[in-house]
């Protein structure tokens, strides 16, 4: 039986009370109310998702003028489209006449977007080209009825969008981790594979699970064997220090050891979260693969392996784990109070040929299996959290402190709306 009860007396006042009570319980997992309330979910869309920088696509998905791909968010669809001049736009897929979707297919190539309802025609930059017989309306000007835009930021080949017209620019924040991100040469990288894992759980359970590695040694045997982040910092400091000492020389990349944290409560502006740290793999492992041996040609400027991996956050819901020979991007998209899409995009060097330079199954093996393990534990977590008998327990201060920070940030964002 799958049943999420909705409280009939839910209201902004109840939400305000729950937020205040939760703020007094810093360091504890959240009250089930936050995973079950429709009002909370609506507020999250409004206060968090529609105001944050979110990963939407990679430039290689829209290489030619007219190419587009859609990103669905809440009840909206946003068209990421390249115009004739090469510029990329994020267009709201809502006709300015009476609101029909102007584009149905999730990806393709178009010269124009023609609304299937009454035939208004839009250019690739969203401007209205023609509106059949509308000259009958005195003063009607096509210039007033272009498709609405979301903000769009293309950084290192990654296309980010923000639905808030007044959102702060993302680029200054991204630049703070630029020295560590640029060496992978993502603008010329290739998407080796992408896959959506739909998990029947609230997005915060999926995200909290990603943020902490307390569960890694119990839930992810293969991952934990290779990645030192499954252990506490002071217990792995010798391995980390040795990796950091050799990293620049062995990768040939200056700045690869940059450590920078500006996420959640520490982010400079809302929705512009970024971090980078380079952490070590255990001795003998060079990359995130079955056995830890290389599975693809070295990325970008790398000319060797240092036994490290670059851990990134790019916006509140997007992460990357970058190995010298491939990069793994992780995006969370809420789809309902108990549905979340976890999407993984695997990148390899742009000129690498599948079947010759890399084997797709070998590149995706670790994170595909790790994600299936996550899906399983997140769903079990969801089942327990949605029980009337659930009472939240404390986060582990060593392993899960970032969850404490996420919750504080989240509650503050939510409370701003009421």
Binding site for ligand FES (CB under 6 A): 95, 97-100, 115, 117-120
When the beta carbons of 7 and 98 are compared against ligand FES, the nearer one is 98
Minimum distance, C-beta of residue 312 to Fe ion, in the bound complex (Å):
17
Which residues, in sequence order, are bridge partners of residue 270?
none
Dihedral sign (CA 120, 121, 124, 127): negative
Q: Which stretch binds Fe ion (CB under 5 A): 194-202, 314-322, 334-342, 370-378?
A: 370-378
Q: What is the dihedral of CA 216, 293, 156, 342, to 10 degrees?
A: -40
Least CB distance to ligand FES at residue 162 (A)? 25
Q: Per rule CB under 5 A, is residue 374 in the interface with Fe ion?
A: yes
3-class DSSP state of 110: coil
**Tokens standing for residue 393:** 């327990």
CB of 272 or CB of 381, closer to Fe ion: 381
In the complex, what is the shortest distance from the CB of residue 99 to ligand FES, in angstroms, rounded to a whole number? 6
251-255-259-262 Cα dihedral, nearest 10 degrees: -130
Q: How far is the CB of 144 from ligand FES (least distance, A)?
A: 15
374 interface partner picked from ligand FES, Fe ion, none, CB below 5 to 8 A per type: Fe ion
CA dihedral 290→295→298→304, nearest 10 degrees, is 50
Which residue, 325 or 374, has its beta carbon nearer to Fe ion? 374
- Give me the phi and psi of 17, to 5 degrees please: -65, -45
What residues contact 315, with CB distance under 8 A and at least 6 apart? 52, 53, 54, 55, 160, 170, 271, 272, 273, 274
Tell me which stretch binds Fe ion (CB under 5 A): 15-23, 335-343, 366-374, 398-406: 366-374
Say which entry of ligand FES, Fe ion, none residue 55 contacts (CB below 5 to 8 A, set by partner kind).
none
What is the distance between the alpha carbons of residues 183 and 324, in angstroms, rounded to a whole number?
9
Closest residue to Fe ion, judged by C-beta, is 374
- Residue 45: Cβ within 10 Å count: 16
| Closest distance to Fe ion from the beta carbon of 385 (Å) | 17
| Residue 376 contact among ligand FES, Fe ion, none, beta carbon within 5 to 8 Å by kind | none
Binding site for Fe ion (CB under 5 A): 374
């Amino acid at each position: 039986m799958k049943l999420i009860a909705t409280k009939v007396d839910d209201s902004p006042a109840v939400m305000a009370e729950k937020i205040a009570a939760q703020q007094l319980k810093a360091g504890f997992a959240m009250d089930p109310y936050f995973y079950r309330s429709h009002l909370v979910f609506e507020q999250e869309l409004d206060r968090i998702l529609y105001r944050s920088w979110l990963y939407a696509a990679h430039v290689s998905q829209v290489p030619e003028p007219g190419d587009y791909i859609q990103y669905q968010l809440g009840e909206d669809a946003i068209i990421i489209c390249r115009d004739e001049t090469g510029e990329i736009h994020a267009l709201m897929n809502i006709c300015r006449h009476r609101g029909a979707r102007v584009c149905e297919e999730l990806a393709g190539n178009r010269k124009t977007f023609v609304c299937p309802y009454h035939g208004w025609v839009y250019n690739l930059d969203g401007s209205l080209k023609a509106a059949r017989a509308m000259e009958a309306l005195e003063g009607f000007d096509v210039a007033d009825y272009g498709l609405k835009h979301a903000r769009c930021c293309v950084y290192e080949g990654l296309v980010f969008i923000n639905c808030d017209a007044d959102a702060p620019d993302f680029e200054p924040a991204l630049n703070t981790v630029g020295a560590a991100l640029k060496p992978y040469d993502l603008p010329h990288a290739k998407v080796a594979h992408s896959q959506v894992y739909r998990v029947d759980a609230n997005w915060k359970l999926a995200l909290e699970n990603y943020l902490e590695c307390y569960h890694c040694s119990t839930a992810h045997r293969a991952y934990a064997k290779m990645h030192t982040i499954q252990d506490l910092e002071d217990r792995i400091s010798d391995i980390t220090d040795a990796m950091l000492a050799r990293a620049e020389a062995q990768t040939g990349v200056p700045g690869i050891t940059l450590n920078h944290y500006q996420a959640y409560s520490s982010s400079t502006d809302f929705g512009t979260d970024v971090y980078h740290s380079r952490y070590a793999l255990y001795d003998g492992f060079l990359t995130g693969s079955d056995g830890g041996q290389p599975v693809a040609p070295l990325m970008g400027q790398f000319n060797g392996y240092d036994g490290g991996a670059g851990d990134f956050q790019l916006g509140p819901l997007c992460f990357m784990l970058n190995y010298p020979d491939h990069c793994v991007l992780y995006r969370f998209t809420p789809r309902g109070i108990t549905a979340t899409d976890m999407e993984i995009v695997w990148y390899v060097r742009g000129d690498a040929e599948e079947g010759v330079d890399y084997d797709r199954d070998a590149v995706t093996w670790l994170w595909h299996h790790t994600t299936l393990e996550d899906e399983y534990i997140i769903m079990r977590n969801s089942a327990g959290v949605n029980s009337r008998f659930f009472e939240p327990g404390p986060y582990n201060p060593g392993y899960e402190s970032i969850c404490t920070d996420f919750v504080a940030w989240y509650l503050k964002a939510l409370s701003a709306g009421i």
